[in-house]
Amino acid sequence: MEISLIRHGKSKCIEKSIMSSKDFSGWVESYNDNGVFEENFYPSATLEKIKTANIVVTSDLKRSIESAKLLNPNVPVMSTPLFRETELPIPSSIIGGLKLNPSIWALILRGFWFCGYSRDCESLIEAKERAKKASDLLMEFAQKNLVVVVVGHGFFNMLVASELRKKGWKGKSKTSSKHWNCTTYFFLY
DSSP-assigned beta bridge partners for residue 58: 79, 151
Q: For 158-182, write each residue's pLDDT tens digit.
A: 999 999 999 999 999 888 889 999 9
Q: What is the pLDDT of residues 125-163, one digit of tens each?
A: 999 999 999 999 999 999 999 999 999 999 999 999 999
CATH superfamily of domain region 2-186: Phosphoglycerate mutase-like (3.40.50.1240)
93: left (phi over 0), alpha (psi -120 to 50) or beta: alpha
Instruction: Decide: 147 and 2 in contact? Cβ < 8 Å.
Output: yes
CA distances from 15 to 1, 12, 28, 34, 169 (A): 41, 9, 11, 12, 39
77, amino acid identity? V
Domain ranges of the chain: 2-186
